Amino acid sequence: MSENEQKPEVEIGTSVPSRLKKTIVMVGMMGAGKTAVGRALAARLNVPFLDSDHEIEAAANLTIPEIFARDGVAYFRKKERQVISRLLVEQRGVLSTGGGAFLSEENREIIKENGVSVWLQADLDVTWNRVKHRNTRPLLQTDNPRQTLSDLYDARVPLYAKADLHVPSDGQVSIEGMVDRALQVLKTRPDVLEWT
């Protein structure tokens, strides 16, 4: 396709004719929408949806909060790295990762070698509004969860910014709208997604 030719327009809610060459890895803060947008993006591309947290829970036969409580954060991060490595090698698809996964340099390198990272760039207020009523976030089980989230946000954003692609999320766009935004940035990466 020449530079003057335009890539096909994406029609909301319809499948996109394409061939996935690398796994698309959704990264970002808890509450950014990695699972919801990732699942919808996978459906639109007609590829498998994978979730590293779900795979870790299935392997351990425990929930993430139970793993954190029983084995600690370091153990969880080790298992997370193993699962992400395995999923990136086993099949191509859309992979949703936990909020802390992309903080590890080793994980970032594995993802860069075998996939493309897409940062769902939600601001602090958006993420807080999505997580404040849930008790399934072990890192937020503190006396001041809003401040804890703010501290995590400040520490993590510079690392998320290392992602290959950035998709802004202002909390006003539907899941399908976020998929459209993700597809627009993916059009810039023919090494990942071949449009037919």
Binding residue ranges for substrate: 53, 77, 99, 156
Of 82, 169, 94, nearest to 124 by C-alpha is 169
Write out the chain's pLDDT in tens, 196 residues.
334 444 444 444 556 667 899 999 999 998 899 999 999 999 999 999 999 999 999 988 999 889 988 999 889 999 999 999 999 999 899 999 988 999 999 999 999 999 999 999 999 999 898 888 777 776 778 788 899 889 999 999 999 999 999 999 888 889 999 999 999 999 999 999 888 7
Of 15, 46, 61, 16, nearest to 187 by C-alpha is 16
| Domain boundaries of the chain, sorted by first residue | 18-190
Binding residue ranges: 31-36, 53, 77, 99, 137, 156
**What integer pLDDT is reported at residue 15 of this predicted model?**
64
- Is 26 within 8 Å of 149 (Cβ atoms)? no
CATH fold for the domain made of 18-190: Rossmann fold (3.40.50)
CA distances from 18 to 33, 42, 72 (A): 23, 12, 41
Binding residue ranges for ATP: 31-36, 137
- Torsion sign across C-alpha atoms 36, 179, 51, 169: negative
**Contacts of 143-151 spanning 24+ positions with Cβ under 8 A:** 149/30, 149/124, 150/124
**What integer pLDDT is reported at residue 14 of this predicted model?**
57
**What integer pLDDT is reported at residue 185 of this predicted model?**
96
Binding residue ranges for Mg(2+): 35
**What integer pLDDT is reported at residue 73 of this predicted model?**
87
- Residues 6 and 177: their CA atoms lie apart, in Å, by 20
**What integer pLDDT is reported at residue 7 of this predicted model?**
41
- Residues 14 and 43: their CA atoms lie apart, in Å, by 9
Q: Which two tokens stand for residue 18?
A: 């394409």
Question: Is the model's pTM score more than 0.75?
Answer: yes
- 49-51/94-96 β-pairing: parallel
